Amino acid sequence: MKKILQVCGLCFTLLLVGCGAEEEEVEKDPTIEIVENSLYASPKDPSTYQTKTFNELSEALTDNEDGEMIATLVAKNFCADFYTLKNKESANDVGGLTYIPEAYQEEFKNYAAAYVYTQYTSIEEEHGNKHLFEVTEVSVETIQEETFLYNKYVDVTQSDTGAAYYEEVVVEGFQMDISLVYKDTDVSESDMKMNATIQIMLLDGKYVVLAVE
């Protein structure tokens, strides 16, 4: 079952996911520490895979790697955090928001809580916390440069009219086909998001998610 979100030009097609009441944390390597960066917030209670993937992004930013590399790591980090549910506190604890344009984060969070994480409680109760989804690998299968249209939010401090508004702008970015691997769980694979197409755009000097389906 799918739901489509269209909010001022920001379109998300997201597979409804479940997650799978004993407490069990995500897999962690205590010898690996998060490397922070100035553009993206680090994941909360990250798994070893999330920590390593976020550190790769931080290092790529520090090394001024090219746009394709950074956009790829943004896509991987978003999917690892958004589709990992084991480290979330509730169905309202939505991951990956730091990779969503700031003007749309609240709407995306509300949508995801209402339509994507809806099975959190029932599957946790039926299968236990240890069967909540944990992404262990995100792979980019294909990638190509693209130009997108985006409805950019212009707040009152930047507006010539004295009022906030949305302005359609052309943005550069990348479209990718990705695949995801999860830690073993009792929840059916048909309930997992195994493949996705994601669009990453460059907005005000920062790569962010434009769309995912």
Domain positions in the chain are: 2-146+174-212
Quote the CA–CA distance of 131 and 89 in Å, as a whole number: 14
Query: For 49-55, what is the mean pLDDT?
Result: 97
Query: For 188-213, what is the mean pLDDT?
Result: 93
- For residue 189, count CB atoms less than 10 angstroms from its CB and return exposed for 0-12, middle for 13-18, buried for 19 or more: exposed
- Vertex 195, ends 189 and 201: CA angle to 5°? 145
Please say if the pLDDT value at position 73 is more than 70.
Answer: yes
Q: Of 18-27, 103-112, 172-181, which has the strongest mean pLDDT?
A: 172-181
Please say if the pLDDT value at position 191 is more than 90.
Answer: no
Determine the straight-line distance between the first and last CA of the chain, rounded to whole angstroms.
12
Confidence of residue 11 (pLDDT cuts 50, 70, 90): low
pLDDT, residue 94, reads: 95
Q: What is the pLDDT of residues 26-39, one digit of tens each?
A: 667 777 899 999 99
Please say if the pLDDT value at position 64 is more than 90.
Answer: yes
Q: What is the pLDDT of residues 112-162, one digit of tens each?
A: 998 888 877 777 888 888 888 999 999 999 999 999 999 988 876 766 677
pLDDT, residue 13, reads: 55
DSSP string, 35-84: ---SSSPPPSS--HHHHHHHHHHHHHHHTT--HHHHHHHHHHHHHHHHH-
**DSSP β-bridge partners for residue 140:** 178
Global confidence as pTM? 0.85
> DSSP label at 105?
H
- Top pLDDT among 130 and 111 is at 111
34, two tokens = 């998060």
